[in-house]
Structure 1
Amino acid sequence: MAKVRVKQEDSLSIKFLHQMEAGDNRRLDLYLFLPKEMGVNPQSIDEEEYYHSSITGRRSYYSSGLHLPLVQSRFVSQKKRTVEEFRLYLNLFAYQFSVAIETDSKELAQVEDLAEFYASLEELSEQVIHLLKRFRRNEPSDEKWKSYFENADNYLSWFCEQRLLKLLAHAPRSSEYAAVTESVIALCKAEAQYRQTHKYNSSKTIKDANRIANKMHLLRRLIQQGVVLKEDLKPLGVGLKRMTTGVATAMIMIVVSTLIIKAQGVFSGLTIALVLTLAVIYGFREIFKDEVRNALWRIIQRGRPRWGRLLQDTTSKITIAKQLVWLDFIRKKELPEQVTKILKRRHSQNKVDAEILHYGIHTRVSAKGFLAGYSQIQEQVNFSFVPFARNLERGKAKIYKELDGKISNESVERRYQVNLILSLKEGRGEPQFARYKITMNRSTIIEITESDLPSGVNNMDETPFEEELLEASAELKTKP
């Protein structure tokens, strides 16, 4: 499969996801080229604020395909395993099942072709039925195991129903595909009846939307235990920043003290003129103090990682990976040579001045400490473009047409093209690259397309992600 996958998440967000093996040493860099006409720059957006408000991620254990340990024959013999092991494998299956349904439904919601949408919806509902049946075949009989199974079963049933109903609620209407709609609604009714039959939720909880949503949120968090890695994020360079503040203050005070001495030499004694002069000097000190400190800090911080992150197994408390994170606006001359070479391939009409926002993440994965049976973790990072869109102009122009002597007009939207270049370096190997064009307007990302790279630049593995899923699905269907 492709080593790193970039795709649209919501209307104004993108995400990248990749898997890392035990012992991996990986550096991933993303360069976002934001046209200056978008108005996005260090003065309009603070990098630290953007990181905490608009960049989200999750890191978890990963098993390729859908044939997870819970549905494998080696897991059927439950007596040979402890309750804790059963819960971990159960959570891993339930978590990846829910993530897969969430991902597929979001992709399906973006399909505009009517025939393709309903064909994919029918296929998705069949997959839900198939996977839920396989999951429920492994229901334990022992009471001490059963509560964990019921929590996962309750959540998966409700979550699948909600994703399917949401797709139908926003689906294009067509009587031609009424049979597909009815079959999906029948599936949702069957799942609701299934939860009622098993008395998973009280009648009060079912009737109150807030209570059922909060309960399912709690169940989701329980499912994530042992699967999603605990993150400990710490800012780097705190001591260096304090020292920078001290140096900036000292520089300002040298200038201020010099001006005060000169002012005392000009004015003899304590006069009103001297007092006013000192007031002006101290006023200018307050004005320029922060600016000098920020400018000095930008110079010192440039190229340094801003945050450090530890990823720990929530059960064993063992550190699974360590990460360094960069986020800053950089200058064109600071770009790697190969990135500059890729940019030169653009068409002349796309060669506009741009602000460059750089996001980098360096991960060192431990060779030990993984959950038994797993040797990979998956990282998914979402970037929200909402802060960028706030600065964009709404479409005001109109296109006029003449037809049979009648003149009509049509409003056109203002579109912007953001270039994204991704660089991946594994260990001591040569970096590999990929380039994407993101077309967006004020309200949504219209499309994301991958562009060709110039010769001489290492391209990432282009084996489609879907091929692995198809192979895994085929293998799953052949299992008893």
Structure 2
Amino acid sequence: MAKIRVKQEESLSIKFIHQMKVGANRRLDLYFFLPKEMGIGPHSLNEEEYYHSAITGRRSYYSSALHLPLVQSRFASQKKRTVEEFRLYLNLFAYQFAVAIETDSKELGQIEDAEEFYGALNALYELVIQLLKKFRRNEPSDPKWKSYFENADNYLSWFCEQRLLKLLSRAPRSSEFSEIVENVIGLCRSEHEHRKSKRYNSLHTVEDPNRISNKMLLLRRLIQQGVVLKDEFKVLGVGLKKMTTGFATAMVMLVVSALIIKAQGVFSGLTIALVLTLAVIYGFREIFKEDIRNALWRVIQKGRPKWSRILRDTTSQAPIAKQLVWMDFMKSAELPAKVSEILKRRHSQNKLDAEVLHYGIHTRVTQKDFLAGYTTIQEQVNFSLAPFARYLERGKAKIYREQDGKISNDSVERRYQINMILAVRDDKDEVQYARYKITMNRSTIIDVSQSDLPDGIPEMD
């Protein structure tokens, strides 16, 4: 598996996924090169607003044994474990099961070719059956254990049914794959009957979409207990910003005071001319005070992290990792030398002027062991490109062609290409790089592909 995976998440979002073990020290930087023809830059996009509205992350414990009989290995010796340990292992499996199905179904939903879609749907159908069987094979009989199992079973059954039905509702039309469709529908019906026979949900809850949806959200949060890490978010530089504001105000007032003294020397006594002059001076003070403060803050803030995050175990409240986060626009001259070298690899027709949006995250994982059974944490960060899309132009051009004396035309969509360079460094190791090309239009991401790097540039494993 690659150290860091980058993939398309939905129609207008991408995400990167990576895992870190105990004691990891990783710095990860993403550079988005936005062609200036897109109209996106510091003048039109506030990077802090973009971070809070379009970037979402999920950090949790992780086990690579998801597609193995994890429940058997974890639950076989139930009598030797406490209820809390059982719940933690159960939640880990159920959560990763749900995330895997969610990820696979989103990727499957982007496939337009009927043969490829139904082949992948059949593989997902078989995987769901296999995992549900393995999960239910170890259903406990003790009531104090069983309630946790039933919550997870109820949610996984409902979630798998919803994901499969959603895929079928958007599936390419084809009569050749009716058998696969029938199999998937049969599985959805059997899961509905399974929940009904177990009396997991009341009749009123099942018949009310709002009630069943809210109940499943609650069960999802219960499953995440002990698996998803709690984050404590903090804005950095608040005190420094106040000091910058005070310094800028002092500088402006120094100039204003000098001008007032000068004006009083020019105009003898309190005259209308003096009053008007003072009004103009104070007016300019209000205009330039904000500009001077913002200019000073940009200089002081440059290169500094804007936010910090502490990740805690939700069960023990022990700190698991600390993170520093950067988000800013950069000038081309400020880019690392190897990033600039990678960018020069582009074809001549793609060498357009671009604005550089930088996202960085530095993670230090605790040196202490995690809870028993956990050795790795996983981070997934989603970037929505919808704020970019609103600046893009719709396709207005037409291509004309002639055949047998008849002239026809085809509408052409306007496409844009964003280069993205990823740099990652673990501890004191050499920085490794990867380059991706994101092709998008106003409504969707058309393609995300990885490109070759120049010779001599360390490529990410």
| Matching residue of 2:395 | 395
| Matching residue of 1:240 | 240
1:62-141 correspondence runs (5 A) = 62-67=62-67, 70-73=70-73, 75-141=75-141
Contact 1:13 1:445 in 2 (8 A): yes
| Matching residue of 1:442 | 442
What is the CA distance between 1:39 and its match in structure 2? Answer: 1.2
| Matching residue of 1:149 | 149
In 2: Cα distance, 1:48 partner to 1:66 partner:
36
1:234-383 correspondence runs (5 A) = 234-383=234-383
Q: Secondary structure at the match of 2:194?
A: helix
What is the CA distance between 1:73 and its match in structure 2? Answer: 3.4
What is the CA distance between 1:70 and its match in structure 2? Answer: 4.5
The one-character-per-residue Cα deviations of 1:206-258 (angstroms, maximum 9, x if unpaired) are 11111111110111011001000110111111111111111111111122222
In 1: Cα distance, 2:270 partner to 2:264 partner:
9
In 1: Cα distance, 2:370 partner to 2:54 partner:
30
Q: Answer with 361-370 or 21-30: which moved more.
A: 361-370
What is the CA distance between 1:331 and its match in structure 2? Answer: 1.0
What is the CA distance between 1:290 and its match in structure 2? Answer: 1.6
Q: Answer with 263-272 or 372-381: which moved more.
A: 263-272
What is the CA distance between 1:315 and its match in structure 2? Answer: 0.6
What is the CA distance between 1:74 and its match in structure 2? Answer: 5.1
| Matching residue of 1:475 | none
In 2: Cα distance, 1:319 partner to 1:211 partner:
36
What is the CA distance between 1:369 and its match in structure 2? Answer: 3.9
In 2: Cα distance, 1:326 partner to 1:436 partner:
20
Q: Which runs of 4+ in 1 moved over 6 A?
A: none
What is the CA distance between 1:288 and its match in structure 2? Answer: 2.0
Contact 1:420 1:438 in 2 (8 A): yes
AA at the equivalent of 1:172: P
| Matching residue of 1:163 | 163
In 1: Cα distance, 2:22 partner to 2:52 partner:
28
Q: Secondary structure at the match of 1:435?
A: strand
The one-character-per-residue Cα deviations of 1:412-454 (angstroms, maximum 9, x if unpaired) are 1111110000001011111000000000111111100100000
| Matching residue of 2:206 | 206
In 1: Cα distance, 2:68 partner to 2:144 partner:
22
Contact 1:69 1:89 in 2 (8 A): no
Number of aligned positions between the proteins: 461
> Are the structure 2 counterparts of residues 439 and 74 from structure 1 closer, same or farther at C-alpha, using a change threshold of 3 Å?
closer
Q: CA RMSD in A?
A: 1.1
| Matching residue of 2:176 | 176
Q: Which 5+ residue runs of structure 2 have no aligned equivalent?
A: none
What is the CA distance between 1:37 and its match in structure 2? Answer: 1.1
In 2: Cα distance, 1:113 partner to 1:106 partner:
15
> Are the structure 2 counterparts of residues 100 and 68 from structure 1 closer, same or farther at C-alpha, using a change threshold of 3 Å?
same
Q: Which 5+ residue runs of structure 1 have no aligned equivalent?
A: 462-480
Q: Secondary structure at the match of 2:346?
A: coil
> Are the structure 2 counterparts of residues 90 and 30 from structure 1 closer, same or farther at C-alpha, using a change threshold of 3 Å?
same
AA at the equivalent of 1:59: R
In 2: Cα distance, 1:128 partner to 1:226 partner:
24
In 1: Cα distance, 2:328 partner to 2:179 partner:
52
What is the CA distance between 1:266 and its match in structure 2? Answer: 2.2
The one-character-per-residue Cα deviations of 1:67-124 (angstroms, maximum 9, x if unpaired) are 5684233521211100000000000000000000000000101111110100110111
AA at the equivalent of 2:405: G
How does the TM-score come out when normalised to structure 2?
0.98
In 2: Cα distance, 1:426 partner to 1:356 partner:
24
Contact 2:418 2:439 in 1 (8 A): yes
| Matching residue of 2:26 | 26
In 2: Cα distance, 1:393 partner to 1:251 partner:
44
Contact 2:435 2:451 in 1 (8 A): yes
AA at the equivalent of 2:368: K
Contact 1:69 1:75 in 2 (8 A): no
Q: Secondary structure at the match of 1:45?
A: coil
In 2: Cα distance, 1:262 partner to 1:441 partner:
59
AA at the equivalent of 1:41: G
The one-character-per-residue Cα deviations of 1:242-281 (angstroms, maximum 9, x if unpaired) are 1111111111112222222222222222122222222222
AA at the equivalent of 1:394: R
In 1: Cα distance, 2:348 partner to 2:97 partner:
45
Contact 2:113 2:172 in 1 (8 A): no
The one-character-per-residue Cα deviations of 1:375-424 (angstroms, maximum 9, x if unpaired) are 11000000111111111111111111111111111111111110000001
| Matching residue of 1:419 | 419
Determine if the alignment matches structure 1 residue 230 to structure 2 residue 227.
no
In 2: Cα distance, 1:74 partner to 1:236 partner:
41
What is the CA distance between 1:65 and its match in structure 2? Answer: 3.5
Contact 2:67 2:131 in 1 (8 A): no
Q: Secondary structure at the match of 1:72?
A: helix
